[in-house]
Amino acid sequence: MERHDASITVIRPESGWLALNLTDLWRYRELVYFMTWRDIIVRYKQTLLGAGWAILRPFLTMVVFSIFFGELAKVPSEGVPYPIFTYTALLPWELFAAALSVASRSLVQNSHMITKVYFPRLILPLAAILAGVVDFLIAFVILIGMMAYYGITPTPAVWTLPLFLLLTLVTSLGVGLWLSALNVLYRDVGYVTPFLTQFWLFITPIAYGASLVPEQWRFLYALNPMVGVVNGFRWALLGIQTAAPDSQLVTSVIVSLVLLVSGLFYFRRMERLFADMV
Amino acid sequence: MRFETMGTIAIRTEKLGKQYRIGLPAVRYQTLRESLGERLVSPVRRLRSNADEYGKIWALRDVSFEVQQGQVLGVIGRNGAGKSTLLKLLSRVTYPTEGTAQIHGRVGSLLEVGTGFHPELTGRENIYLNGAILGMKRHEIERKFDEIVSFAEVEKFIDTPVKRYSSGMYLRLAFAVAAHLEPEILVVDEVLAVGDAEFQRKCLGKMSDVAQQGRTVLFVSHNMSAILRLTEETLVIEKGRLALRAPTPQAVDYYLSRGFSQEGKRIWAEDEIPPEAAPFHPIGIRILNPHGEVADTVRSVEPVTVEIEYSLAAPVVGLRVGIYLLSTRGEYIFTSFDTDEPEHFERLATRPAGHYISRCTIPADFLNEGRYVVAVNASSFRVRRYFQDDQALSFNVDATGAPGMHWPEPRLGPVRPRLEWKIEAIK
């Protein structure tokens, strides 16, 4: 019989801003894996189309955007066919949008666990977001098909794609942590999140190219970390040079990290109240 | 002194306390509007009710004790006395408001059987998930997998989603995972109240095993016979404070005598009513003899009236107020609610706000002699339990005049009905 964590746990009142206690998160890393896995399995078992949704959502959005923005409004697409131009942006966007929605609900939905057993609460929004990566990968297969169809070969910079994926996840987690913690305190967040996501869609270059934004507004525009993400995807996959990494990307990365770190601290600050409130 | 005991102490708490705020915001979530409203209103309210203590209750206060490694310690107390809060603090579900606790080793608790079980997942999948939630490592779960499955007796259904399990199977599986956690400190809260007798025996057996392996067990229960059987020392918690720590028989005596010296009636004090009870507000419960007098001892041959007085601050849909009658050993004798009759239930589908008494009569020639415990429950089925007091009061039944009294022997069983016998001689 082994002795586990024969360490001493000291329980004492905590208030104000707390240390992040990431060692505890590390100790529970397997739970991150299991919770992610649960979220994936349950989603695919409960829905009729299962994995089909991962493809249908971005695909149908692409079709609608292509008709209205590409064909009718003639939004310029930087020399690549409009459908693939917008689909490339929709991939990280869908991941982000779904992450906000599931992460914001993650604590409230798992309240029965929070009120009964200790584990780092951070795992709940984290696992909810990571589960979305599977949808992302499935939808990515369609992109590969579209690239083959349009005869577009990825640029040598395609190796940077995982980094942009990481930036998407960091941003999602940052915003997701804020929303999930706020949702425990104020259920208004449930109403605000869809609106926030819709609003965010328009300030992100999904249906249009970032180069449409006038030069003097670029800095302000880049404060939205998803701008850096979408530009990165278009640059790495489609070779769109106006989307190449520049100071805007630096701004996006910094904002994203600020969101993550502030989200972590805010989450930790509220964490001790969760069991009493949900 | 402290030096000698170091290394053998499993739990040490010092002046542990937990304060809850009633209403806002610590108990229930709020909407932004309420929060903003509260900001505007609260200065006025603060003036009206002198200061900080407004709407705050200490669920637990000033609790200091030590538990040696390998000790099996009982924890008893009325509902709302703070037992659950103590367990929640020790298992780190919630944080204390003051004081500290030191825990040496991993705490596993059986108060969360089935936590994180997902109906769509199979038994196998749930074992892994639940194990991980309870803090087990993957290899640990793999090692104990077969043992868990056979303990739960679900071998045949291990790859079936648990939503197709019977409630018994579900419970067995949930308990099996928790019981195989092998923490240094095991916290058990009332799991034994569920499941069939066979399963309860199995759980108690598992608990004794755990204790014999030198683990520390904190056992919370209303079942005095289980407490007496499994523990040597017991904490009695009263109104959030540690009232007594004594050898178990002494602690149980103290608890029973304290709890039950209610003389046929019980008025709930303000601090015994949890804030979640609102809009239900219990006032009192009385035992009445046929002359309408409050009585601690009633006669078996006469009807007994039980009346529960309460008020509703708001209309409640589907409310039922009722009693459980139990033996002092914690065995249930019957359950009855004031809206058991369908026409009552329909007439009071929504019970308006107001002041009520729900009254019932236990018929004559029904109870055997002995002491009985009345528990009170006010709930809306499948919606909410507003209030429950598992030891609202107790009363004595005197069997003078009851059937069979000409034989001076104790009659087995909690009821002593007067049955109509016919004796027929066959020619």
Out of A9, A114, A272, the one facing B103 most closely (by C-beta) is A9
Residue type (1 letter), B382? R
Question: Which residues of B are less than 8 Å from A42 in CB distance?
Answer: 118, 120-121
Question: Which residues of B are less than 8 Å from A46 in CB distance?
Answer: 120
Q: Do B29 and A185 touch (CB under 8 A)?
A: yes
Question: Which residues of A are less than 8 Å from B133 in CB distance?
Answer: 31, 34, 113, 117, 119
Q: Does residue B367 lie in a domain region? A: yes
- Across the beta sheet with B280-288, the strand order is B265-267, B280-288, B304-312, B354-362
Total length of chain B: 427
Q: Does residue B23 lie in a domain region? A: no
Q: Does residue B343 lie in a domain region? A: yes
Beta bridge mates, B101: A11, B13
A12 lies within 8 A of chain B by CB? yes
Is residue B131 within 8 Å of residue B177, measured between CB atoms? yes
The residue-averaged pLDDT of B337-341 equals: 93
Answer yes or no: is pLDDT of B117 > 80. Answer: yes
Q: Does residue B215 lie in a domain region? A: yes
Q: Does residue B33 lie in a domain region? A: no
**Domain boundary pick from B239, B259, B279:** B259
Q: Is the peptide bond before B279 cis (omega within 30 degrees of 0)?
A: yes
Provide the pLDDT for residue B27: 41
Structural domain count, chain B: 2
Provide the pLDDT for residue B226: 74
Give the rounded percent of residues in chain B with a pLDDT score beyond 70.
Answer: 84
pLDDT band at B111 (very low <50, low <70, confident <90, very high): low
CB atoms within 10 A of CB A166: 12
3-state secondary structure of B103: strand
Question: Which residues of B are less than 8 Å from A275 in CB distance?
Answer: 88, 93-94
Shared domain for B246 and B166, answered yes or no, is yes
What's the CA gap between B52 and A5, in Å, rounded?
40
| Per-residue pLDDT tens digits for B201-230 | 777 777 777 777 778 888 887 767 678 778
Shared domain for B243 and B357, answered yes or no, is no
**Domain boundary pick from B259, B282, B308:** B259
Shared domain for B215 and B95, answered yes or no, is yes
Is residue B330 within 8 Å of residue B222, measured between CB atoms? yes
Q: Do B95 and A14 touch (CB under 8 A)?
A: yes
Provide the pLDDT for residue A74: 86
Q: Does residue B31 lie in a domain region? A: no
A23 CA: distance to closest CA in chain B (Å): 14
| Per-residue pLDDT tens digits for A50-95 | 778 888 889 999 999 999 998 888 888 888 899 999 999 999 999 9
Instruction: Tell me the CATH number at B311.
Output: 2.70.50.60
Shared domain for B253 and B394, answered yes or no, is no
Beta bridge mates, A8: B104
Shared domain for B75 and B131, answered yes or no, is yes
Question: Which residues of A are less than 8 Å from B120 in CB distance?
Answer: 41-42, 45-46
Residue B65 has φ and ψ, to the nearest 5°, of -160, 165
Q: Do A112 and B115 touch (CB under 8 A)?
A: yes
| Per-residue pLDDT tens digits for B24-57 | 444 444 555 555 555 554 444 444 443 345 567 8
Answer yes or no: is pLDDT of B110 > 80. Answer: no
The residue-averaged pLDDT of B130-150 equals: 88
| Per-residue pLDDT tens digits for A165-199 | 999 999 999 999 999 999 988 888 888 999 999 99
Shared domain for B231 and B272, answered yes or no, is no
Query: Which residue of A lies nearest to B125 if distances are taken between CA atoms?
Result: A38
Provide the pLDDT for residue B405: 81
Q: Does residue B407 lie in a domain region? A: no
| Per-residue pLDDT tens digits for B273-329 | 888 888 999 999 999 989 888 888 888 889 999 999 999 999 999 999 999 998 877
Interface test with B, best of A29, A118, A269, A277 (most B CBs within 10 A): A118
Provide the pLDDT for residue B142: 92
Residue-wise burial string across A47-85, b where 16 or more C-beta atoms lie within 10 A, e elsewhere: eeeeeebbbebbbebbeebbeebbeeeebebbebbbbbb
A9 lies within 8 A of chain B by CB? yes
Least confident span in A197-211, B235-249, B250-264, B330-344: B250-264
Give the structural domain span for B124: 65-259
B109 lies within 8 A of chain A by CB? yes
Out of A113, A277, A278, the one facing B116 most closely (by C-beta) is A113
Answer yes or no: is pLDDT of A215 > 50. Answer: yes
Q: Do A34 and B133 touch (CB under 8 A)?
A: yes
Show the tokens assigned to B90.
Answer: 């020790």
Shared domain for B243 and B352, answered yes or no, is no
Shared domain for B73 and B205, answered yes or no, is yes
DSSP label at residue B226: H
What's the CA gap between A239 and A150, in Å, rounded?
14
What's the CA gap between A249 and A113, in Å, rounded?
39
> Has the ipTM of the complex gone over 0.90?
no
Shared domain for B236 and B356, answered yes or no, is no
Q: Does residue B409 lie in a domain region? A: no
The mean of the pLDDT values for chain A is: 88
Shared domain for B143 and B291, answered yes or no, is no
Shared domain for B218 and B281, answered yes or no, is no
Query: Which residue of A lies nearest to B109 if distances are taken between CA atoms?
Result: A117
Answer yes or no: is pLDDT of A258 > 50. Answer: yes
Shared domain for B84 and B182, answered yes or no, is yes
